[in-house]
Structure 1
Amino acid sequence: MEKLISEFSFGLFFWQLFLFIGLVLLLWKFAWKPILEAVNGREEGIKNALASAENAKKEMQNLQADNEKLLKEARAEREAMLKEAREIKEKMIADAKEEAQVQAGKMIAQAEESIRSEKQAALAELKNQVATISVEIAEKVVHAELADKDKQLSLVDKMLNDVTLN
């Protein structure tokens, strides 16, 4: 360091200072502004990219919220449709049971009516047969009575044994 101080030259110092200042001015004019503009441009680009990323993140959150909302609505709609389908099924089953009971009641009523009419027809036929048999017996008894009393009794007994009810 002593050597520097002892060999110091003002001329050399002046020219070095002049060149340094000239270099700084040249750098200021031609390099510093483009470098600062590039740095500022890059900073703006980074800010824009960060803002875009933040917007994209918010939009993704909104989309996720919308998707969740749509999913909940779809689930609720599905549950409502299933509930409605169950109610329709139960109503159809109840209607079918009711219709079957009505039909069964009608069939039973028809069967009872048929049985009643057949019973009445059978009773009428039985009455007719009894009347016919009674008339035949009376005819034969009257006819035989005119002939002989013992014959009449044996004839009535014989006819009663021959007659069978259907």
Structure 2
Amino acid sequence: MDLITPGIGLIFWTTIVFLLLMTLLGKFAWKPILKAVHLREANINDSLKAAEQARIELASLEQDKEMIVRDAKSEKLRLIDEGKATQVEIIREAKVKAKQEAEKIVESAKKDFEAEKQKAVESLKQQLAVISIDMASKILESEIDTTKKHEEIINKMLDKANFN
């Protein structure tokens, strides 16, 4: 029964030891423990605030990223459109230059053709003149006696020579 009903002396000394222990703990242990708990609580609050700030910054960065991606896509499309426009312009300029070159070549060929034609006509005239002179000289040799006949032959030859 002693365990169920303790004696007054035991209760007295247990209470004094308890109060002494509480005083010592209050003076030396509770303050540092409470200080550590408050520091821990402040650190947790700061960490929560930093996490909230990071979440807000992350959302802002996400919006910035989406805006940058949209801008990059629109810039890409603009550059593609410019490239296509430049391509069309280069093709158009190449066609114009090719047409001009073709016209120059055709004009040059026409000039060359006309020059060759003139040379051929001149050559034919010279050959005709030589043939006419040869014929005239042969005729003169064979019929040297009639001048009137010679004049008629020469006039006919000259008329034929002036065919242009």
Is TM (by shorter chain) over 0.5? Answer: yes
Distance in 2 between the 1:51 and 1:105 partners?
80
Distance in 2 between the 1:98 and 1:78 partners?
30
| Aligned: 1:45 with 2:43 | yes
Q: CA deviation at 1:90?
A: 3.3
Q: CA deviation at 1:94?
A: 2.5
Distance 1:136-1:30 versus aligned 2 partners, 3 A rule = same
Residues 20-79 of structure 1: CA deviation (Å, up to 9, x unaligned)? 333333332322222222111111111212222332333334334434433443343344
Which residue of structure 2 lines up, in the alignment, with residue 20 of structure 1? 18
Alignment RMSD? 3.3
Distance in 2 between the 1:145 and 1:76 partners?
101
Q: Which has the higher contact order (CA 8 A, sep 6+)?
A: 2
| Aligned: 1:92 with 2:94 | no
Which residue of structure 1 lines up, in the alignment, with residue 159 of structure 2? none
Distance in 2 between the 1:2 and 1:19 partners?
20
Task: Count residues in correspondence.
Answer: 147
TM-score by length of 2: 0.65
Residues 83-139 of structure 1: CA deviation (Å, up to 9, x unaligned)? 333433332232223212211211111111111121122123323433443454345
> Which one of the candidate residues 131, 134, 142 is aligned to 1:133?
131
Distance in 1 between the 2:144 and 2:12 partners?
190
Which residue of structure 1 lines up, in the alignment, with residue 28 of structure 2? 30
Which residue of structure 2 lines up, in the alignment, with residue 112 of structure 1? 110
Distance in 2 between the 1:84 and 1:118 partners?
50
Which residue of structure 1 lines up, in the alignment, with residue 100 of structure 2? 102
Distance in 2 between the 1:50 and 1:15 partners?
48
Structure 1 stretch displaced more, 22-31 or 9-18: 9-18
Distance in 2 between the 1:25 and 1:53 partners?
40
Identical pairs, percent: 36
